[in-house]
Amino acid sequence: MPIKMYDLAGAEPDRRFSPYCWRTKMALAHKQLEVETIPWRFSDKPLIAFANWERVPVIVDQGKPVVDSWAIATYLEGAYPARPSLFGGGAGLGLARFHNAWADTVLNPALSRFAMLDAYNHLSPADQPYFRRSRLERLGVSLEEYCKDREGRLPAFQQLLEPLRQTLAAQPYLGGEAPLYPDYIVFGSFMWSRCISPFRLLDETDPVNAWRERLLDAFGGLARNAPGYW
Amino acid sequence: MPIKMYDLAGAEPDRRFSPYCWRTKMALAHKQLEVETIPWRFSDKPLIAFANWERVPVIVDQGKPVVDSWAIATYLEGAYPARPSLFGGGAGLGLARFHNAWADTVLNPALSRFAMLDAYNHLSPADQPYFRRSRLERLGVSLEEYCKDREGRLPAFQQLLEPLRQTLAAQPYLGGEAPLYPDYIVFGSFMWSRCISPFRLLDETDPVNAWRERLLDAFGGLARNAPGYW
C-alpha cells in the first residue's frame, strides 16, 4: 500500500508549491517509497483533522498519520532503515537540524517577499480570502506592499545565500558527494518559488543554481516535471 | 611528540583570541591529542613561512605542517580515526561545511563589528599598526567607526543567531547529543569575542548562551580557563 500524502495544491490540482511538502516528496523519493499524493487546500482543514493537525505535509503510512516535515523525515529514517539513508547516521541527523532551522528562519522569510503574491495568485478562489487575511495579520502589510520592488531586493537576497553558495562551490551537495535530507530542505524552498513565480532568483553561473538544477533532475526529474516556471 | 600549533596571541602571550585557532584547539582536545601551542603575532609571519602560509592556525604533526582550520580538522579526522570522531562519518563531514560557511560568511563578519576594536586594543604594539592599516583597507572605515553603537546593533545581531538558537533549543549541541566539529566552529567565534571584549552578546536565558556555557566547561574547562571576559 503506497504512503498517502496530503500535498498543498493551487487552483490547478497539479500546482504543488509548498516548500515543506517538497521536503517530504523528495525524502520519500530518496527512500524509494511509493506515494499517492492528495491535493489539499487551506480550506480543506477537515480533511486532515484525523491527524490532529492543520497544515501539510501529513502522511499516512499503513494507517498511521505522521505530521510535520521534520518529524516525517525522522519517522521515515527510523521506519525504513534498509532504504537509502536521509541523514547518513546520527551525526548527520543532529547536524541537519541547523540546515532546517536556517531554511525556516532565514531562507523562507526572505523568499516569501519574492513569492507570496505569486502564491496568492495561484491559489484556488476558496483559499484566497483566508490567505490574504492571515498574511495581512502576520505581516502587517498587504501582499502587494510586502512583495514590491523585487529587482531592488534581489542582491540582498542573493547575499543571504552566501553560506549555501560557499558550501556548494566546494562540493556538489549539502550532504557532500550525494544529496541528503538537508539538500531537500533547502531545495524545497526553491521549489516553492519555482512552482508559482516566474521571477528568477539565481544567476545561471551561481553554484546554488547548478545544485538546484541537479536536484531538479533527481529521481527521474520528479521536481523538474512538476508544473513550474524556471 | 605533541602536535605543535601556532596560535594567535595578543600583547599578553596567554591572550589567545583567534576564532579559527579556537576551532583547532577544541578539535585537538576532542581528539584527545596533546598539543604544544606557540604564541604567534601578525608580525611573526616568518615563523610560519616553512608552511608556505601567512595565517594561523598552523599545526605541525610529526614534522608535517597542516594549515587552515578546516583542512586541519579533516586531517586530524583522517590521521587519527581511532580517536573520537569530529564529524561522525562522511555525511557529518559533508553537512559540517555549511556550518563552517555560515560561521565564516555570516557570524564572523557580524561579530567583527562588536569585537574588532577590542581585538586591536589587545594586540601587541608590534601588531597594532598592521592591524589598523589592513582593516582600514578592508572595511573602508576606521575601527572606531566600524564598532560604534554596539548596544543599538545588538538586537539585529541576536536575530542573526536564530537558526543557531532554534537548533540549540531542540538539542544540546549542533552535533546532537554530543558536540562535533561544527560546535567548535561556531563556538570559536564566541571565544574570539570572549577573549578580548567585555561586551556581552548573549542574554543569560538564550539557549545559545547555555550551549556556550557547556562548551566553556568541555575538556576540563579548556576554554573557560583561558583569559577572557564573559
> Does B199 lie in the same domain as B113?
yes
Answer whether B174 sits within 8 Å of A98, measured CB to CB: yes
Indicate the residue of A102, A173, A175 with minimum beta-carbon distance to B163: A102
> Does B99 lie in the same domain as B69?
no
Q: Is residue A210 part of a domain?
A: yes
Is B183 exposed, middle or buried, given 0-12, 13-18 or 19+ CB atoms closer than 10 A? buried
Indicate the residue of A89, A94, A104 with minimum beta-carbon distance to B171: A94
Which residues are CB-contacts of A196 (< 8 A; sequence separation ≥ 6)? Answer: A10, A15, A17, A115, A118, A119, A121, A122, A228, A229
Answer whether A162 sits within 8 Å of B106, measured CB to CB: yes
Neighboring chain A residues of B96 at a CB cutoff of 8 Å: 95
Answer whether B87 sits within 8 Å of A87, measured CB to CB: no
Query: Residue A122 is part of which domain span?
Result: 90-221
What type of residue is A133? Answer: R
**Count of structural domains within chain A:** 2
Q: What are the grid coordinates assigned to A160, written together? A: 543571504
| CB-based contact B189:B161 (threshold 8 Å) | no
> Does B203 lie in the same domain as B106?
yes
> Does A198 lie in the same domain as A95?
yes
Read off the CATH number of the domain in which A135 is found.
1.20.1050.10
Interface test with B, best of A30, A74, A98, A173 (most B CBs within 10 A): A98
Q: Is residue B228 part of a domain?
A: no
Which residues are CB-contacts of B146 (< 8 A; sequence separation ≥ 6)? Answer: B112, B113, B116, B117, B135, B139
Which of B79, B109, B130 is where one domain is finished? B79
pLDDT at B1: 87
Q: Is residue B229 part of a domain?
A: no
Closest CA relative to residue A115, chosen from A31, A213, A30, A188? A188
Torsion of CA B207, B208, B210, B211, to 10 degrees: 120
> Does A191 lie in the same domain as A131?
yes
| CB-based contact B164:B186 (threshold 8 Å) | yes
Closest CA relative to residue A99, chosen from A186, A158, A19? A186
> Does A153 lie in the same domain as A51?
no
Which of B37, B53, B79 is where one domain is finished? B79
Q: Is residue A189 part of a domain?
A: yes
pLDDT at A100: 98
> Does B207 lie in the same domain as B95?
yes
> Does B138 lie in the same domain as B189?
yes
Q: Answer left, alpha or beta for residue A179, where phi above 0 means left and psi between -120 and 50 means alpha.
A: beta
Q: Is residue A58 part of a domain?
A: yes
Q: Inter-axis angle of helices B90-102 and B69-79, to 10 degrees?
A: 160
Indicate the residue of B98, B163, B176 with minimum beta-carbon distance to A91: B176
* Residue whose C-alpha cell reads 578592508 in the numeric block: B138
Which of B79, B107, B124 is where one domain is finished? B79
For chains A and B, what is the number of CB pairs under 8 angstroms? 123
C-alpha distance from residue A197 to each of A194, A230, B127 (Å): 6, 8, 52
Q: Is residue B230 part of a domain?
A: no
> Does A213 lie in the same domain as A151?
yes
> Does B148 lie in the same domain as B192?
yes
> Does A204 lie in the same domain as A109?
yes
pTM: 0.97
Number of H helices, E strands in chain A: 10, 4
Q: Is residue A226 part of a domain?
A: no
Residues of chain B with pLDDT under 70: none
Closest CA relative to residue B79, chosen from B26, B186, B3? B3
> Does B208 lie in the same domain as B94?
yes
b or e along B114-125 (b: 16 or more beta carbons within 10 Å of the residue's beta carbon)? Answer: bbbbbbbebbbe
Which residues are CB-contacts of A183 (< 8 A; sequence separation ≥ 6)? Answer: A26, A173, A174, A175, A211, A215
| Tens of each residue's pLDDT in chain A, 230 residues | 899 999 999 999 999 999 999 999 999 999 999 999 999 999 999 999 999 999 999 999 999 999 999 999 999 999 999 999 999 999 999 999 999 999 999 999 999 999 999 999 999 999 999 999 999 999 999 999 999 999 999 999 999 999 999 999 999 999 999 999 999 999 999 999 999 999 999 999 999 999 999 999 999 999 999 999 99
| CB-based contact B48:B58 (threshold 8 Å) | yes
> How many C-beta atoms surround the C-beta of residue A6 within 10 A?
25
Is B101 exposed, middle or buried, given 0-12, 13-18 or 19+ CB atoms closer than 10 A? buried
Answer whether B92 sits within 8 Å of A96, measured CB to CB: no
Neighboring chain B residues of A176 at a CB cutoff of 8 Å: 90-91, 93-95, 97
Sign of the alpha-carbon dihedral angle for A18, A4, A93, B78 = negative
| DSSP category for residue B43 | G
- What is chain B's percent helix, strand, coil content, to nearest 5? 60, 10, 35
| Chain B positions touching chain A (beta carbons under 8 Å) | 85, 87-102, 104-106, 162-167, 170-171, 173-177, 180, 182
Q: Is residue A227 part of a domain?
A: no
pLDDT at A16: 98
CA distance A77 to A83: 8
Read off the CATH number of the domain in which A69 is found.
3.40.30.10
Cα angle value A142/A146/A151 (rounded, 5°)? 145
